[in-house]
């Protein structure tokens, strides 16, 4: 059997041929006969009453096909965009859940809120007509920050949401925490901001919708991480059309990072409009439009306190967070700062008591939802900053205090005080590995060398854990999820022995066509080039929940493994018949079914032929065909973790922070394809570095204008911002996934912000600096240095 | 208006509007969708092509400006003459995992090929500086940098043989 590439190998990616030659098929590359162009008209105001829209001039413009507004949506009796996760407050009351109309009705609540959809023969004509639309706004005061939004007298977004609080949520044992704080020898306190981010996948969002009058079917091509979920939410809840009349296709998608995992209003509007105008419509967002409409991430204001005994042992953690949720509830919005945040506040430590209160707050900003890491980077940032503050205040070494409080490897499985039970991990092993890989021992020499050049050098640690592979459906249901979180896979062995896998996850850069093919190779012993992985099309794939939360391999891969096991089981029955042996005597290995203890065997190709050409076949007990399907619902999250060490140099003259070294040792369980895992870690780390040093979505507080509304003023990391990173893995195997795998897509983004900021604070500690909010821009650092409590000469 | 230029080695004559962008001409009218549009401020570099051998962000060009020039897009990259192989830079990107979602890849490749012209031995610093105008959101750049260094060396080996 040639070219069987299994687990642990790094074959070159199957998907690369088309991407390298410009033959990818992204939504914006697709053309349909008779296609028109759509442009969304978006609110220029952060908050305003929508008094009326005069379509006359726009309709009269050349090439215009239709102009649709919220009034048309209401006339057609369409639903509003659903929220997929309903949480409850500490008083037991459900969250406030105002409607999110797909085109604004009555009011607009953020700059970018959709007001109308203009359809014309060409994009240029649609743009010209959009300019002619006369929208009568009565501007209202805007509020964009959470502290302002909950202040008395703040502008209110919804009449029935007092103080703009969507939900006042809590987790943990408040009384136990209070008792522990009373006994503490030391309490470390920290106020911090987790900056608002914009995901910026390089491919802007886009959609094409088409309606076929002959069959009554709709097709939507969309830049989505979860086409089946879009189909379900849109058809059943928004447009109220039968699900079997809707096909959703997410072809090649140019990056997602969470931003493309929501059901967006644009998708619903364009699908509805395609039937109204009886022609295909295409919409492609500009990057600037993406800034105003892609869901944003993070945006917390937090007060946190850590209680310690005199030896530096953690006794309790108390966290109060105000989380900005934006102008409406997006698909997973309320779940991110609550269920995906507070349960990770245990980190890798044995902290016995934790209490977290989160107020989820509406503001006149783009809705906030999941962005790579989603909740878990925020939790890690709180814990890992606070640990450094405690260490500094108590005069304990930062590594020593971490080591003293880490969950020992032998203590796993470990039940935290905040819901989750870690099945496996080795934080001390990761820490030890990183100390060596990062050459921490010789940091002093490097710091002295920097000092000779007049630069401040700092080292920062971040030890973290992630909960990923979302999630056991039963558990998610208890936490308010309105859907299940299983995954499905079909393994189709063709008559000639090639294999097609139909899987419900999506791939938008992660290389699943390669990784999943390796799993099939390993399981079935077929050549790598004979395996195709199909995803992203609701007409081809049975069902699926898509790709987010590092779930593809741990949940989707498990479904695939289970389906392959079923193929083997059926193959054994066929082989037993063909080889005239008992089924219990048939063994399967490396693509061959053989009778134990003999040299009699049949290859999987021979079995496939027999299954599709059943001349000699056990038809009385077995159906023909060799295709099996499995649905897999995980029994727990998986818990990757690790230790990241950042090294920075600060130029006191300019305040510029340069990342000069980065070391990561991550525990992602079994590695299927080391090359791909390393690539995921690289990418994740740089997105976290972006948050720490460069990226920030900034609103004008009074007008609600997004000031960082393009790539000109929202700084993404570029190639020359980064040093070469040192990446390695230190695996403990997940105890409940079939191959021992854990997720790896988000770990980099979770571990890195705290490591980088801890390094910046370390570099400036001699000036009396104890905290730096993200992003640590030159301007912010230069000001800190200028206002330092200790003069620079003290160095 | 009518313009004539060389597109990926072939003489091409087309009618264009005065204010049509080169990206629109390529993608919408000539069916070459490999050149991608990732932004509207000439920041991202996904649309980089070669104009007479130099790398240029094609979103900064109006279609009439192409008249008389030689334009190379990602579809025009190719391996040794008469082979079905990839261009050495494409091969290096595949070998070093210098791409994930593939959206920035055409622009990265075109920038990298221009960067490597006449320079078989590129330093990491040179490459990182040379890629400043191209944003990748997936790879963290490390493997792209490795790929460009290896691709530059391979291009010159290929050129000599």
Residue A421 has φ and ψ, to the nearest 5°, of -120, 115
On whether the CB atoms of residues A322 and A300 are closer than 8 A, the answer is: yes
Contact A22 B46 (CB under 8 A): no
Band (A3; pLDDT cuts 50, 70, 90): confident
Cα Rg, chain A, nearest whole Å: 28
Using a CB–CB cutoff of 8 Å, tell me whether A676 touches chain B. yes
- Spatial distance between the Cα atoms of A782 and A629, rounded to a whole number of angstroms: 59
DSSP, res A96: P
**Residue A792 pLDDT > 70, yes or no?**
no
Which residues make beta-bridge pairs with A665? A643, A728
Q: CB–CB of B140 and A288 under 8 A?
A: no
Whether residues B142 and A724 touch (CB distance < 8 A) is answered with: yes
Residue A74 touches partner B, C-beta closer than 8 Å: no
Q: Which positions in chain B touch A510 (Cβ < 8 Å)? A: 100
For residue range A273-305, what is the model confidence (pLDDT) as tens digits?
999 999 999 999 999 999 999 999 999 999 999
**How crowded is residue B79: how many other Cβ atoms within 10 Å of its Cβ?**
14
The answer to whether A21 contacts B95, with C-beta atoms less than 8 Å apart, is no
Beta carbons of A722 and B134 less than 8 Å apart: no
Please give, rounded to a whole number of angstroms, the shortest distance from the CA of B160 to a CA of chain A.
Answer: 24
pLDDT (0 to 100) of residue A399: 98
Contact A202 B103 (CB under 8 A): yes
| H or E stretch at A405 | helix A398-405
Interval A747-772 mean pLDDT? 97
Nearest CA in chain A to B126: A720
Q: Where are the alpha helices (DSSP H) in A350-407?
A: 376-394, 398-405
Asked whether the beta carbons of residue A20 and residue B93 sit closer than 8 angstroms, the reply is yes
Helix (H) or strand (E) holding A596: none
Residues A544, B81: Cα–Cα separation, whole Å:
45
Token pair, residue A203, equals 């491919």
pLDDT band at B81 (very low <50, low <70, confident <90, very high): confident
Would the CB atoms of B41 and A711 count as touching at under 8 Å?
yes
The number of C-alpha atoms within 13 Å of A52 and in the hemisphere containing its C-beta is 3
Q: Which residues of A touch B95 (CB under 8 A)?
A: 12
> Does the beta carbon of A678 lie under 8 angstroms from any beta carbon of chain B?
yes
Using the Cα atoms of residue A148, residue A153, residue A154 and residue A157 in order, give the sign of their dihedral.
positive
pLDDT, tens digit, 9 for 90 and up, residues A195-204: 999 999 999 9
Question: Distance between CA A75 and CA A191 in Å, rounded?
Answer: 48
Question: How do residues A491-511 score in pLDDT, each as one tens digit?
Answer: 999 999 999 999 999 999 999
* Distance separating alpha carbons of residues A298 and A198, to the nearest angstrom: 9
* Cβ pair A683:B90 closer than 8 A: no
Binning pLDDT at 50, 70 and 90, where does residue A6 land? Answer: confident
Give the span between the Cα atoms of A654 and A621, in whole angstroms: 78
- DSSP single-letter state for residue A252: B
Residue window 33-92, chain B: list those with CB within 8 Å of chain A: 33-41, 43-44, 46, 73-75, 77, 86, 90
Rounded distance, CA B152 to CA B145, Å? Answer: 11
CA distance A724 to A706: 33
Q: Which B residues in the span 98-127 are in contact with A, Cβ-Cβ below 8 Å?
A: 99-106, 109, 124-125, 127
Give CA–CA dist B38/B135, Å, rounded.
9
Contacts of A716 in chain B (CB under 8 A): 135, 137
Helix (H) or strand (E) holding A660: strand A657-667
A711·B32 Cβ contact <8 A: no
Which pLDDT score, from 0 to 100, does residue B83 have? 76
Inform me whether the C-beta atom of residue A198 falls under 8 Å from chain B C-beta atoms.
Answer: no
Contact (Cβ atoms closer than 8 angstroms) between residue A184 and residue A309:
yes
- Phi and psi at residue A26, in whole multiples of 5°? -90, 160
Closest residue on chain A to B43 (Cα):
A711
Which residues sit opposite A414 in a β-bridge?
Answer: A422
What is the number of helices (H) and of strands (E) in chain B? 5, 5
Residues A651-672 pLDDT 10s? 999 999 999 999 999 999 999 9
Question: Across the interface, do A711 and B43 touch by the CB < 8 Å criterion?
Answer: yes
Q: Which two tokens stand for residue A285?
A: 């967002």
Asked whether the beta carbons of residue A254 and residue B131 sit closer than 8 angstroms, the reply is: no
Measure CA B23 to chain center.
13
Asked if B100 and A725 come within 8 Å (Cβ–Cβ), the reply is no
* Whole-number pLDDT of residue B80: 83
Per the structure block, which two tokens stand in for A296?
């944003």
**Cβ contact (<8 Å) for B134 and A19?**
no
Question: Two tokens at A474?
Answer: 């039963």
Residue A719's closest chain B neighbor by CA?
A: B128
- Please state, in angstroms and as integers, the Cα–Cα distance from residue A740 to each residue in A361, A420, A707, B141, following that order: 39, 19, 45, 29
How far apart are the CA of A760 and the nearest CA of chain B, in angstroms? 21
Q: CB neighbours of A82 closer than 8 A, spacing ≥ 6?
A: A233, A237, A238, A263, A331, A482
SS3 A610: helix
A746 touches chain B (CB under 8 A): no
Please give the pLDDT value at position A795. 42
How many CB atoms within 10 Å of residue A526?
24
User: CB-side exposure of A190: number of CA atoms within 13 Å?
Assistant: 28
Q: Which of A678, A710, A719 sits opposite B41 (nearest CB)?
A: A710
- Residues in B closer than 8 angstroms to A285, CB to CB, are none
pLDDT in tens, B137-157: 999 999 999 999 999 999 998
Contact yes or no for B103 and A255 at CB 8 A? yes
pLDDT band at A471 (very low <50, low <70, confident <90, very high): confident
Q: How many CB atoms lie within 10 A of CB A539?
A: 12
Q: Does A671 touch chain B (CB under 8 A)?
A: no
Q: Which of B73, B102, B139 sits opposite A254 (nearest CB)?
A: B102
Report yes or no: A685 at the B interface, CB cutoff 8 Å.
yes
In the block, which residue shows the tokens 């004979």?
A530
Nearest CA in chain A to B100: A509
Q: Which of residues 253-282 of A touch B (CB under 8 A)?
A: 253-255, 257
Residues in A closer than 8 angstroms to B128, CB to CB, are 719-720, 722
Average pLDDT for A351-371: 98
Spatial distance between the Cα atoms of B151 and B147, rounded to a whole number of angstroms: 6
- Work out the mean pLDDT of chain A and round it to a whole number: 97
A–B: how many Cβ contacts below 8 A? Answer: 174
pLDDT at residue B161 in the model: 67
Closest residue, chain B, to A674 (C-alpha): B97
Residues 6+ apart with CB under 8 A from A769: A761, A784, A788
pLDDT of A1 reads: 45
Interface test with A, best of B58, B102, B112, B128 (most A CBs within 10 A): B102
Contacts of B77 in chain A (CB under 8 A): 21
Is the Cβ–Cβ distance between A336 and A262 less than 8 Å?
Answer: no
Alpha carbon A225 to its chain centroid, in Å, reads: 10
Question: Do the chains contact at B140 and A685, CB–CB below 8 Å?
Answer: yes
Predicted confidence band at A791 (pLDDT cuts at 50, 70, 90)?
Answer: low
Give pLDDT, residue B128: 98
Q: Which of A709, A719, A725, A746 to mutate to test the interface with B (most CBs of B within 10 A)?
A: A719
pLDDT at A794 over 60: no
ipTM of the complex: 0.98
Count other Cβ atoms within 10 Å, centred on residue A739.
19
Residues in CB range of A226: below 8 A, 6 or more apart: A250, A261, A506, A544, A545, A546, A547, A548
CB atoms within 10 A of CB A313: 16
Q: What's the pTM?
A: 0.97
- Is the predicted pLDDT of residue A793 greater than 70, yes or no? no
Picking from B94, B128, B140, the nearest residue to A683 by CB comes out as B140
């Amino acid at each position: 059997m040639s070219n069987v590439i299994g687990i642990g190998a790094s074959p070159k990616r199957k998907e690369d041929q088309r991407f390298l030659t410009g033959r990818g098929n992204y939504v914006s590359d697709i053309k349909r006969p008779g296609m028109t162009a759509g442009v969304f008209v978006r609110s220029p105001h952060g908050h305003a009453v929508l008094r009326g829209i005069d379509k006359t001039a726009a309709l009269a413009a050349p090439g215009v096909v239709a102009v649709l507004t919220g009034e048309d949506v209401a006339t057609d009796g369409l639903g509003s965009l659903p929220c997929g996760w309903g949480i409850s407050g500490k008083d037991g009351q459900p969250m406030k859940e105002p409607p999110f109309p797909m085109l604004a009705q009555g009011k607009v609540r953020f700059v970018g809120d959709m007001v109308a959809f203009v359809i014309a023969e060409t994009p240029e004509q649609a743009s010209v007509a959009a300019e002619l639309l006369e929208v009568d706004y009565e501007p209202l005061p805007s509020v964009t920050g959470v502290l302002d939004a909950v202040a008395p007298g703040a502008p209110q977004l919804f009449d029935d949401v007092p103080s703009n609080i969507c939900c006042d949520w809590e987790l943990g044992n408040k009384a136990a925490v209070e008792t522990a704080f009373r006994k503490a020898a030391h309490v470390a306190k920290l106020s911090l901001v987790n900056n608002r981010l914009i995901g910026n996948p390089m491919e802007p969002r886009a959609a094409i919708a088409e309606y076929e009058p002959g069959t009554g079917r709709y097709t939507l091509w969309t830049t989505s991480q979860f086409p089946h979920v879009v189909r379900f939410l849109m058809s059943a809840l928004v447009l109220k059309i039968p699900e079997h009349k809707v096909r959703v296709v997410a072809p090649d998608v140019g990056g997602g990072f969470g931003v493309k995992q929501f059901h967006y209003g644009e998708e619903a509007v364009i699908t509805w409009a395609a039937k109204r105008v009886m022609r295909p419509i295409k919409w492609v967002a500009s990057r600037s439009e993406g800034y105003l409409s892609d869901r944003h991430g993070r945006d917390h204001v937090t007060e946190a306190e850590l209680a310690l005994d005199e030896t530096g042992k953690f006794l309790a953690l108390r966290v109060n967070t105000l989380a900005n949720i934006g102008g409406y509830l997006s698909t997973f919005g309320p779940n991110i700062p609550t269920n995906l945040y507070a349960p990770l506040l245990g980190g890798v430590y044995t902290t016995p008591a934790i209490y977290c209160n989160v107020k989820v707050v509406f503001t006149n900003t783009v809705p906030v939802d999941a962005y790579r890491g989603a909740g878990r980077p925020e939790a890690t940032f709180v814990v890992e900053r606070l640990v450094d503050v405690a260490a500094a205040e108590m005069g304990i070494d930062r590594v020593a205090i971490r080591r003293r409080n880490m969950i020992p490897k032998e203590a796993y499985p470990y039940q935290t005080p905040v819901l989750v039970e870690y099945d496996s991990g080795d934080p001390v092993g990761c820490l030890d590995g990183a100390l060596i890989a990062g050459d921490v021992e010789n940091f002093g020499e490097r710091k002295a060398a920097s000092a000779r050049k007049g630069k401040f050098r700092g080292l920062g640690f971040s030890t973290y854990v992630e909960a990923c592979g979302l999630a056991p459906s039963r558990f998610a249901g208890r936490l308010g999820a309105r859907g299940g979180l299983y995954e499905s896979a079909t393994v189709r062995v063709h008559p000639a022995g090639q294999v097609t896998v139909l899987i419900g996850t999506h791939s938008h850069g992660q290389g699943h066509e390669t990784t999943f093919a390796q799993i099939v190779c390993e399981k079935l012993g077929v050549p790598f080039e004979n395996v195709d992985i199909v995803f992203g099309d609701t007409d081809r794939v049975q069902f699926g929940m898509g790709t987010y939360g590092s779930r593809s391999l741990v949940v989707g891969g498990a479904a695939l493994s289970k389906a392959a096991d079923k193929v083997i089981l059926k193959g054994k029955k066929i082989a037993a018949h063909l080889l005239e042996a008992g089924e219990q005597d048939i063994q399967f290995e490396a693509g061959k079914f053989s009778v134990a203890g003999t040299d009699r065997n049949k290859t999987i190709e021979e079995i496939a032929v027999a299954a599709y050409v059943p001349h000699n076949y056990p038809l009385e007990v077995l159906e023909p065909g060799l295709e099996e399907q499995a649905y897999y619902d995980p029994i727990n999250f998986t818990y990757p973790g690790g230790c990241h060490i950042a090294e920075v140099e600060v130029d006191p003259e300019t305040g510029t922070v340069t990342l000069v070294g980065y070391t990561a040792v991550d525990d992602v369980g079994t590695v299927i394809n080391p090359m791909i895992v390393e690539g995921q870690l690289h990418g994740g780390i740089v997105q976290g570095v972006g948050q720490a040093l460069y990226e920030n979505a900034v609103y004008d507080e009074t007008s609600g204008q997004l000031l960082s509304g393009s790539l000109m003023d929202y700084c993404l990391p570029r190639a020359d911002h980064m040093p070469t990173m040192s990446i390695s893995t230190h695996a403990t195997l997940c105890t409940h996934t079939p191959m021992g795998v854990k997720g790896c897509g988000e770990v980099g983004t979770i571990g890195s912000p705290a490591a980088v900021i801890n390094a910046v604070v370390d570099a400036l500690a001699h000036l009396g600096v104890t905290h730096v909010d993200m992003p640590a821009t030159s301007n912010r650092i230069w000001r800190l240095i200028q206002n330092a409590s200790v003069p620079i000469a003290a160095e | 208006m009518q313009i004539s230029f060389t597109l990926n080695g072939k003489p091409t004559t087309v009618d264009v509007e005065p204010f049509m962008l080169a990206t629109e001409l390529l993608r919408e009218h000539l069916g070459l969708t490999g050149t991608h549009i990732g932004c509207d401020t000439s920041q991202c570099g996904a649309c980089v092509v070669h104009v007479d051998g130099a790398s240029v962000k094609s979103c900064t060009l109006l279609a009439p400006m192409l008249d008389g020039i030689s334009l190379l897009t990602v579809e025009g990259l190719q391996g040794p003459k008469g082979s079905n192989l990839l261009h050495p830079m494409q091969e290096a990107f595949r070998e070093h995992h210098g791409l994930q979602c593939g959206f920035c890849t055409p622009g990265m490749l075109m920038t990298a090929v221009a960067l490597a012209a006449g320079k078989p031995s590129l330093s990491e610093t040179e490459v990182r500086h040379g890629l400043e105008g191209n944003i990748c959101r997936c790879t963290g750049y490390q493997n792209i940098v490795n790929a460009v260094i290896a691709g530059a060396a391979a291009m010159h080996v290929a050129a000599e043989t």
